């Protein structure tokens, strides 16, 4: 493709993108700006691992889309390339039980999955620690989106097993990084006292990027991802403005990609402000989509019922939910608490005439937007 954006329209085999994968959410950029102090704090905590000792534990926290996962992943890539330190990052949205997490750790150490059945947690745990001692390796585990372990009641048992590994098997050296995007969750306070006594993490906070930082970061993506001249300064500024309003860098990254696709639909070599405005109608729901895609089948069923019965009392919603899933009220209440903590719904107590206090369930998003993303 010619770099002159004014030279005619796109032909069918041309693209405004130089490297479209640059705009995927899990892309790790070569140049990572405005997180130098956080990176230094992580390096400080993990420095003992490079010397063969157990590293300091870390709690990395901050709003969604503030660079927590990228910081950890870049550091893990460096450690794996330059040292004998073993690193395993676990996505707790996907693996939200202690057994599932240790299965992922097993896979990271042995390079194959453990048997799908017939192996107890105790045996799985022993094989992991045996391997670490045998190879004289230090393991660093990142529990990404650890808040999901709390929603499922699995956090204390998981962390207890990791933090006490050296007591269960002398010579096992494991460090833990917990990454949380839920600022309403007090990680330490919500842990069992048996875990609190041994979990004294370094606290690394990731604030929301300011407007100029967003321009810098998205500007780097534009240079790598688009051909020259596709994104003008006014378009980049508008994307940065919308991103700053959301507080989530992922919105801006997704917005650039969708705006580029909109330009291609018009066979245009440049992205217009209107392409951005049209794309924002979908990109502004990036966090919602991210949360919905991590839900189980029954959790999705509840969100769908609430979307269709927005603002109704919990008991009325339960009748519909029970008819669809056959689940009891206890599990129903647990799922309500989880999707409330995720910020998908509001579950507020109100007084109902003749019935005392009841929870009113309503979505924090437009019901049509939620239903559309459930059907994606």
The pLDDT score that the predictor gives to residue 10 is 85
pLDDT tens for 200-241 read 999 999 999 999 999 999 999 999 999 999 999 999 999 999
330 labelled binding-site residue: no
Q: How far is CA 256 from CA 16, 215, 223, 292, in A?
A: 11, 12, 12, 22
67 labelled binding-site residue: yes
Task: Tell me the sheet residues that pair with 173.
Answer: 138
The pLDDT score that the predictor gives to residue 104 is 97
209 labelled binding-site residue: yes
What pTM did the predictor assign?
A: 0.89
Task: Tell me the sheet residues that pair with 236.
Answer: none
pLDDT tens for 142-186 read 999 999 999 999 999 999 999 999 988 899 999 999 999 998 999
> Which of helix, strand or coil describes residue 139?
strand
In the Cβ-directed half-sphere of 81, how many Cα atoms lie within 13 Å?
6
pLDDT tens for 69-121 read 999 999 999 998 888 899 999 999 999 999 999 999 999 999 999 987 779 99
The pLDDT score that the predictor gives to residue 161 is 96
Q: Which of 370, 302, 309, 313 is nearest to 337 (CA)?
A: 302
66 labelled binding-site residue: yes
Q: How far is CA 351 from CA 311, 358, 364, in A?
A: 14, 6, 21
pLDDT at 1 over 60: no
Question: In the numeric block, which tokens belong to residue 211?
Answer: 């407007």
Are the CB atoms for 32 and 209 separated by under 8 Å? Answer: no
153 labelled binding-site residue: no
Mean pLDDT of all residues in 54-80: 96
Interior/surface letters 306-339, b for 16+ CB within 10 angstroms, e for the rest: bbebbebebeebbebbeeebebeeeebeebbebb
The pLDDT score that the predictor gives to residue 241 is 97
Question: How far from the centroid of its chain's Cα atoms is residue 200's Cα?
Answer: 23
pLDDT at 256 over 60: yes
Domains and CATH numbers, the chain: 36-205 (3.40.50.300), 210-284 (1.10.8.60), 290-374 (1.10.10.10)
List the beta strands (DSSP E) in 66-223: 86-91, 138-144, 173-180, 202-205
Question: In the numeric block, which tokens belong to residue 242?
Answer: 């919308």
Question: In the numeric block, which tokens belong to residue 239?
Answer: 């994307």
Lowest mean pLDDT, pick from 138-142, 238-242, 307-311: 307-311
Are the CB atoms for 250 and 70 separated by under 8 Å? Answer: no
Q: How far is CA 334 from CA 151, 153, 195, 298, 347, in A?
A: 9, 10, 23, 11, 12
280 labelled binding-site residue: no
């Amino acid at each position: 493709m010619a770099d002159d954006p004014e030279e005619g329209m796109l032909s069918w085999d041309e693209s405004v993108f130089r490297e479209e994968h640059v705009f995927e959410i899990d892309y790790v950029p070569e140049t990572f700006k405005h997180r130098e102090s956080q990176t230094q704090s992580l390096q400080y905590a993990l420095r003992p691992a490079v010397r063969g000792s157990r590293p300091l534990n870390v709690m990395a926290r901050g709003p969604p889309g503030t660079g927590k996962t990228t910081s950890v992943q870049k550091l893990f890539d460096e450690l794996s390339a330059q040292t004998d330190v073993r690193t395993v990052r676990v996505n707790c949205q996907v693996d939200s039980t202690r057994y599932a997490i240790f299965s992922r750790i097993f896979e990271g150490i042995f390079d194959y999955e453990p048997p799908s059945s017939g192996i107890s947690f105790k045996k799985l745990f022993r094989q992991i620690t045996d391997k670490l001692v045998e190879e004289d390796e230090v393991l660093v585990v990142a529990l990404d989106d650890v808040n999901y372990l709390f929603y499922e009641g699995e956090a204390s048992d998981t962390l207890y097993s990791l933090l006490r590994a050296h007591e269960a098997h002398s010579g096992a050296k494991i460090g833990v990084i917990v990454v949380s995007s839920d600022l309403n969750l007090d990680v330490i306070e919500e842990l069992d006292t048996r875990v609190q006594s041994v979990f004294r993490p370094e606290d690394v906070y990731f604030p929301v990027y300011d407007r100029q930082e967003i321009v810098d970061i998205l500007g780097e993506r534009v240079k790598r991802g688009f051909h020259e001249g596709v994104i003008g300064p006014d378009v980049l500024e508008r994307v940065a403005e919308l991103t700053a309003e959301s507080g989530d860098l992922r919105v801006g990254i997704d917005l650039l990609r969708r705006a580029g696709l909109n330009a291609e639909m018009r066979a245009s070599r440049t992205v217009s402000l209107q392409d951005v405005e049209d794309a924002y109608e979908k990109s502004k729901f990036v966090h919602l989509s991210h949360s919905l895609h991590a839900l189980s089948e029954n959790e999705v069923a509840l969100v769908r019922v609430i979307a269709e019965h927005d603002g109704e009392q919990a008991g009325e919603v339960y009748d519909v939910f029970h008819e669809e899933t056959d689940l009891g009220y206890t599990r129903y209440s647990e799922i309500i608490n989880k999707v409330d903590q995720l910020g998908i719904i509001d579950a507020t107590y109100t007084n109902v005439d003749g019935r005392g206090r009841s929870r009113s369930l309503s979505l924090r998003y437009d019901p049509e937007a939620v239903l559309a993303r459930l059907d994606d």
